[in-house]
Amino acid sequence: MLLAEIISVGTELLFGEIVDSNAAFLARELGARGVILHRKTVLGDNLGRVSEAIELALSRADLVILGGGLGPTDDDLTRESIADALGETPAEDPELLAWLEGLYAARGRAMPGVNRKQTWLIPSAEALPNPVGTAPGWFVRTGGKFVVALPGPPREMQRMWREQVLPRLPLPDHALVSTTIHTQGIGESNVAELLTGLTQNANPSVATYARKTGVDVRVAASAATEAGARELLAPLLDTVRAHLSRWTWGEDSQTLAGALDAALSGRSLGVIEAGSAGGLSTLLADAAGFLDAAVTQDHARLITLGLTPVTLRDAGLVSEEAALELAAGAREHLGADVGLAVVVSVEGENAGQVYAAIHGEKGHKAAGVNWPGDAAQIRERAAVTALALAYRALRAGGELA
């Protein structure tokens, strides 16, 4: 096995000013290649702390990957930290210096003196070319282990990883395969109860994750070959699928909107939204069956779309009755085969109250939920609630199928 750790360097990451998407990318890349990732660490731009983290990581991992801190300024300290941790002295590399000066000259500019540190190397480091930036990476071999330094900008980091780092790594001979099952309408604790005992397995393994669209369950297995891993995975995957079949809507790269689009089976979908700020329509934007939408909270406009004044007066806009009338109105006034409506309250005493309804040729169905959270969270959850309701109603065996 090849054990790895990731160290993300940057005070802006530590303070949450920038989301560390690079570590997530690298974690997926390592897992797909059978490398075992044990830790991810985020550190500010501090020479002592980064150097100490490198030493500690090398004491327990075979591969240490550092992201960020390769710029030209005084607070870009990844090179210095690696040199300090390994007890080596960095020096300018003539070839790198010529390349970097040429890069600036080609743009009609003189290279600032501060950029010279980007041409540093230590004796154990090999420079990794950066065709889309000014910061070469480092590939360090030390005591049978590896330290990799990658630039922070994702476009630069990902290309360097794929083109320069992967060919240099002694990747494991075994394979890791996985399938992620997507569920909706069941909580993570309930999923855990259904899978009691299965989540204790080491290989193959089962893990649950809460997502915006529901709970995901990842089933993974590793073996010497991909075929062997899939053979090991198959029985447990079938068991998990059977336990969760009532709530499952897709797997792996499938989206809930895509699952709904497939369930429409060629029928068109009209949408009316009140209070969700177009969140549902945004999720459906790429669905082939999505015909038309009306997004408004204007009562007069909603009345022209099917909401009756009596319902507005007696039950209010955010009510099951209003959602059902607007779902029917989406069919009639938007000319769709299936109508879907969502009404949302994001402020006041009823903040978090959501009703969704679907109306089709074979009938109608509605659902109500009340979610705590800020306005953005409520709107997001409202859109997912409507998608899930429509999918369950339209899928094979559903009420409106």
Q: For 238-253, what is each residue's pLDDT tens digit?
A: 999 999 999 999 999 9
Full DSSP string of 157-182? HHHHIIIIIGGGS---SSEEEEEEEE
Residue 228 has a pLDDT of: 92
pTM over 0.75: no
Closest CA to 226 of 234, 217, 218: 234
Residue 26 vs residues 54, 127, 151, 173, 176: alpha-carbon distances, Å: 17, 20, 13, 19, 15
- CA pair distance 121, 127, nearest whole angstrom: 7
Residue 174 has a pLDDT of: 74
Q: For the chain, what are the domain ranges?
A: 3-168, 175-251, 256-394
Under the banding of pLDDT at 50, 70 and 90, the label for residue 123 is very high
- Cα angle 384, 13, 52 (rounded to 5 degrees) comes to 135
Residue 321 vs residues 176, 313, 357: alpha-carbon distances, Å: 50, 11, 9
Residue 401 has a pLDDT of: 66
Q: For 372-384, what is each residue's pLDDT tens digit?
A: 889 999 999 999 9
Dihedral of alpha carbons 227, 229, 234, 237, sign: negative
| CATH number 3.10.20.30 given to 256-394 | no
Residue 269 has a pLDDT of: 98
- CA pair distance 214, 183, nearest whole angstrom: 6
pLDDT above 70 covers a percentage of the chain that reads 100
Give the mean model confidence (pLDDT) for residues 338-349.
Answer: 95
Out of 3.40.980.10, 3.10.290.10, 3.40.50.450, 2.102.10.10, which CATH number does the structure's domain 3-168 have?
3.40.980.10
**52: pLDDT strictly greater than 90:** yes
**397: pLDDT strictly greater than 80:** no
Under the banding of pLDDT at 50, 70 and 90, the label for residue 314 is very high
**Average pLDDT of the chain to the nearest whole number:** 94
Closest CA to 131 of 150, 159, 97: 159
The helix or strand, by DSSP H or E, that contains position 365, with its residue range, turns out to be: strand 363-370
> How many Cα atoms are found within 13 Å in the side-chain-facing hemisphere of 76?
20
User: How many Cβ atoms sit within 10 Å of the Cβ of residue 79?
Assistant: 22
Under the banding of pLDDT at 50, 70 and 90, the label for residue 260 is very high
Residue 317 has a pLDDT of: 97
Per-residue b/e over 321-356, b at no fewer than 16 CB within 10 Å?
bbbbbbbbbbbebbebbbbbbbbbbbeeeebbbbbb
Pairing of strands 91-92, 120-121: antiparallel
- CA pair distance 61, 39, nearest whole angstrom: 9
Residue 47 has a pLDDT of: 97
Contact at 8 Å (CB) between 348 and 384?
A: no
Give the lowest-confidence range in 92-101, 117-126, 216-225, 314-323.
Answer: 216-225
Q: For 174-186, what is each residue's pLDDT tens digit?
A: 778 899 999 998 9
Q: What is the DSSP letter of 18?
A: S
- φ, ψ of residue 302 in degrees (nearest 5): -65, -35
Under the banding of pLDDT at 50, 70 and 90, the label for residue 222 is confident
| CATH number 3.90.1650.10 given to 175-251 | no
